[in-house]
Amino acid sequence: MLARMVIRRMSRTFVVVAAALALSLVGSLASAAVAGRQLLFSNHAYGVFDRETADAVEHSAYLRTFANFQVRTTTGAGGSKWTGRYLMGRETYLEVFGVGDLPGQDGTIGRAGLAVSAERAGDLPTVLNRLREQGITDPVVFRQTRDFGDGVPVPWFDGVFTSAQYDAFGAWGMEYRPEYFADPRSKTEPAAFPGDVGRERYLSDDYEKHLLRDVTGIRIAITERDLANTVPLLRAGGFVPHPVAGGGIVAQRGGTTIRLDVAPREEVGLRQVDMSLNRAVAHRHEERLGRSTLAVGPGPRAVWTFDPRR
């Protein structure tokens, strides 16, 4: 129910796994069978906002009925911690951070991130291979762990960034570890098929008690360099990015439409989240949350828009 990372792209404390992990990833390429099939799917996105917005989200009574909502501090590798506000659906979720909730520069306003994950064990190595075919010769391969509070880290997921260099946005590919699913403290579901490391298994079914079902669209303003780092990963995962007027791309497939708009560094940040609902609502409900507006309905959808930074 989280998927926060401590890798200096979000908390920027990279847990870079040595050559042994990279070799093990490459060595299991054969398990991903059909070339060209979708390998990565939208997992979650996050944004860092002003304290007014983060506090409004954290203390909103409406969000606790609208979504499977949690405020949680997570301990990752090396004891690093982050505090987020989580809206969780069936297969996807959203993280909201306030200024200072992530360490260092990653805790500054306008930072954002996007995770795309494998559904089948062994698919991440094929993503790594596809990245190299695109000329990404030095991807950042890492393993993240999670500490449930007893000081014993559990392998959580393996991941890859296309580059260690970034401005304010990071996208990473990931694959949940079998050790995490096997740990009863993770409260995950049984596998639906052999090799199931999917999002629906990872997230609980508590979303059924609320309106929010899933994130169907994400729009983020990012710099040109961050876009250049992201497009190869999306292509490697099976997304189809199309250029848009004004600079940027819209990427289809993978369950969520991802729009990345090119913007100056001072104007970057998460701008809009589209969501599907478990049931249609008859009338529009509008909730103002700090410098953001959540519009729910009419019908089976909701849109959350975030004001540009001021």
* pLDDT tens figures, 190-216: 999 999 999 999 999 999 999 999 999
Q: Is the dihedral of CA 55, 58, 64, 66 positive or negative?
A: positive
Q: Would you say the pTM of this structure is higher than 0.75?
A: yes
Q: How far is CA 105 from the centre of its chain?
A: 19
Identify whether the C-beta of residue 82 lies closer than 8 Å to the C-beta of residue 104: no
Instruction: Tell whether the model's pLDDT for residue 2 goes beyond 50.
Output: no
What residue ranges do the domains of the chain occupy?
19-306
HEC assignment per residue over 217-232: EEEEEECHHHHHHHHH
* pLDDT tens figures, 45-79: 999 999 999 999 999 999 999 999 999 887 655 55
**What does pLDDT average to over the chain?**
88
Phi, psi of 22 (to 5 degrees): -60, -40
Identify whether the C-beta of residue 295 lies closer than 8 Å to the C-beta of residue 286: yes
Q: What percent of the chain has pLDDT over 90?
A: 77
